[in-house]
Structure 1
Amino acid sequence: MAQHRPTAQDVAKLAGASRSAVSMVMNGTADGNVAPETQERIRLAAAELDYTPHPIAAGLRRQRSEMIGLVTDEAASSPFAGRMLSGASQAASERGYLTVIADAGGPGEDTSHYIEELRRRRVDGLILATTSLRTLRAPDGLRLIPSVLANCHDEPLSLDSIMPDERRGGREATEHLISLGHRRITWIGGGEDVDARPLRIRGFQEALAAAGLPPGDVVAAGWDINDGFTAALPLFSAAREHRPDAVFCANDRVAAGALLAARTAGLSVPGDVSIMGYDDQRHLADATVPGLTTMALPHEEIGRVAADRVVDRIEGGGPSVPAGTAPQEVLLQCRLVVRGTTGPRRPAA
């Protein structure tokens, strides 16, 4: 036989209090309404009976589900989505909300169906997250309940967005290479399909200009290991006076390809050439030999800040963007992670 689940009425009977007093104590509204000694008896009775309020019933009374919907474009296959989802789920849980995740299945997939389905199921707020930094047209359903964009922004800007500061990241990565004495620095890789690439390159070129150096060469390539290998091998096979001191790669996969190209060309890393990655991709950046120096994207923090922003909107009783205010782009700092692929420039023989 199933064990009887204690009810608020059971707590009231054991504590010698009214059912409404139990409700106020459990909901945190008892101060000024229920005598302190009665509150204490109710808490002791609830502990003795192992009573907790039913979350759905409590939510119905407050006209909330205490759930946040998180729609993402590529949760299953992305090496970064897990960090963002974990950050959002933890932040929401700390504030008493459950996160419900819907995976649209891939970049560019229509997310409006999932957003409408989550709204139909009465989530209190929504986060739309992309695994690569993108500009998109936000589905209309996001504007009907408190919503935030994570790792993307809409055009025209209508919702708050939480994103990495890619331009600053590109600048700080390049400043690291310059601080090691490198002067001939080449950018490698990255397709035009991701908004992060031009921002990282802009930061790269700003750092060179600030140091009084000429604009670095930009070598077009894709985002994968073979792209980095193909782009880097001709650079590393050139004579010493024409070879870059360092390469700044669009991401860690490209950097891994560049590392293989350096070995193929007979160069030591970082003795002959330094290699900088970007992303801090788990099980890659920390697994190469030597380990990749890289910029860590703040995916977990993006998730946390997005969830906190949504809960703030929910509990403030307002829309996604309060009246009289403009949507905000919140830029979070990337972190330099120094490992073994960067080192001081070796003087010419």
Structure 2
Amino acid sequence: MNNKSGSPKRATSQDVAKLAGVSRSVVSAVLNGTPGIGVSEQTRENVLAAIRELDYHVDARARGMKTGRSMTLAAFGDTSHPLFMRLLEGMQRASGAEGYHLLLTSPGRGKAGEARAELLELYQQRRIDGIVTLDDTSYADEKWAQRVQANGVPYVSVEGYAEFAGVCSVHADYRKSIETALDYLWEKCSDKKFVPEYAEVFSLSHEGKVNWAEQQRRKGYEEWCREHKLEPKISRQLQQAGRVDWQDWCRQRAESKQDSPPVLLNWSSAAPDLYRSAYRFGLSIGTDLCIMAADNTIQGDLLSMPTLSCVEIPYAEMGEAAVRSVLLQIRGEAEKPSKLWLPAILKPGESA
């Protein structure tokens, strides 16, 4: 298809409609999922075939002027954090299926509050249609929530606002994840005389504070022990500069000459140091020490030998759920702010 100058002419929706034998409104319905216009599967296939044959591409600027949408979502989080990368994997999958693009934003070197304010400006400029943020599990900034609501921004927090009713959010079920891990440990590694030990790793960068997710994990452990009429056994391990010193912990188990109880770590990132210390004291992972992790932040199941048993927080699935939730808001189909709770994924390995 050429114009008078000899250069290729871009196909239009009218061209697609003519080739498919339908109206332009039907073409629009196929492309945008327009409510109220029923399209049969055969008609939809005819339109898609015409689009492919004509190599038709939607004029994003024209569509934006018509619909008021940019077909872009903002994904806000720390780009240096592996969990954000997993979240983006799911967000990209879900947004791509709906014809949306992602605009990647992060606090960078500036203040997080300033970066969030820029997101509101992008929304007001119609450069984005909605916002998804990956937050700390204890995050519940009421001022930010009020600004989002005042500007009418379709918004979902992943991990934040767990106990705040006025914000749409997506969460992992941390308490249930502990129950899943302990049930697995109890079945695989215990002769029912040992209480599984909960080794709670913490960092001074958090000033020793236990965030909401860790609180839920601890509660889950204590509840599980009560249900099994066992006395909880919790130890705390300090992580400094990304390392945990397990030397004394392993020495005690090596010198006791007795079987050790199964151990549940709250962070899989603490497992490599435990593996190294166990090796120094002649303890075999999976036999002398039965170990499991209550998350899989660094994909420890694949990087450890023997492979680490764990329950994985489903960040990719949480990203997909967040996109679906924000799109419901964009389309005006969300009745009220909702909370979505996703189960952790059990990944058996050789360490337990």
TM bracket (short chain):
0.7 to 0.9
**Corresponding residue for 2:12?**
7
Q: Within the alignment, does 1:142 sit opposite 2:148 as a pair?
A: yes
Amino acid paired to 2:27: M
Query: Cα distance, 1:235 vs. partner?
Result: 4.3
Q: Within the alignment, does 1:338 sit opposite 2:348 as a pair?
A: yes
**Scaled by the length of structure 2, what TM-score is found?**
0.79
Q: Which deviates further from its counterpart, 294-303 or 227-236?
A: 227-236
Amino acid paired to 2:155: S
Q: Within the alignment, does 1:101 sit opposite 2:107 as a pair?
A: no
| Structure 2: 5+ residue stretches without partners | 1-5, 204-208
**Corresponding residue for 1:289?**
305
**Corresponding residue for 2:56?**
51
**1:97 to 1:282, Cα distance in 2 relative to 1, 3 A:** same
**Scaled by the length of structure 1, what TM-score is found?**
0.80
Query: Cα distance, 1:83 vs. partner?
Result: 1.5
Tell me, yes or no, if the aligned pair for 2:295 and 2:313 is still in contact at 8 Å: yes
Q: Which deviates further from its counterpart, 285-294 or 192-201?
A: 192-201
**Corresponding residue for 1:308?**
324
| Structure 1: 5+ residue stretches without partners | 343-349
Query: Cα distance, 1:187 vs. partner?
Result: 1.8
In 2, Cα distance between the equivalents of 1:184 and 1:39? 59
1:85-132: per-residue Cα shift (whole Å, max 9, x none)?
A: 1111211221222221212238983342332233134122111113x5
Tell me, yes or no, if the aligned pair for 1:135 and 1:155 is still in contact at 8 Å: no
Matches within 5 A, 1:113-124: 113-122=117-126, 123-124=128-129
Amino acid paired to 1:311: L
Q: Percent identity?
A: 21
Tell me, yes or no, if the aligned pair for 2:190 and 2:262 is still in contact at 8 Å: no
In 1, Cα distance between the equivalents of 2:243 and 2:106? 28
Q: CA RMSD in A?
A: 3.4
Query: Cα distance, 1:224 vs. partner?
Result: 7.0
Query: Cα distance, 1:185 vs. partner?
Result: 2.3
Matches within 5 A, 1:241-260: 241=258, 244-260=260-276
Q: What secondary structure does 2:137 align onto?
A: strand
Tell me, yes or no, if the aligned pair for 1:302 and 1:332 is still in contact at 8 Å: yes
Q: Within the alignment, does 1:174 sit opposite 2:182 as a pair?
A: yes
Query: Cα distance, 1:227 vs. partner?
Result: 1.6
Query: Cα distance, 1:137 vs. partner?
Result: 0.5
Query: Cα distance, 1:27 vs. partner?
Result: 0.8
Specify which of 220, 233, 236 is matched with residue 253 of structure 2: 236
**Corresponding residue for 2:232?**
215
**Corresponding residue for 2:3?**
none
Query: Cα distance, 1:338 vs. partner?
Result: 0.8
Specify which of 181, 190, 202 is matched with residue 202 of structure 2: 190
Q: What secondary structure does 1:135 align onto?
A: coil
**1:202 to 1:15, Cα distance in 2 relative to 1, 3 A:** closer
Tell me, yes or no, if the aligned pair for 2:16 and 2:27 is still in contact at 8 Å: no
Query: Cα distance, 1:165 vs. partner?
Result: 0.5
**Corresponding residue for 1:158?**
166
In 1, Cα distance between the equivalents of 2:86 and 2:210? 22
In 1, Cα distance between the equivalents of 2:68 and 2:249? 58
In 2, Cα distance between the equivalents of 1:231 and 1:309? 47
**Corresponding residue for 2:285?**
269
Q: What secondary structure does 1:152 align onto?
A: coil
In 2, Cα distance between the equivalents of 1:39 and 1:248? 52
Q: What secondary structure does 1:236 align onto?
A: helix
**Corresponding residue for 2:206?**
none
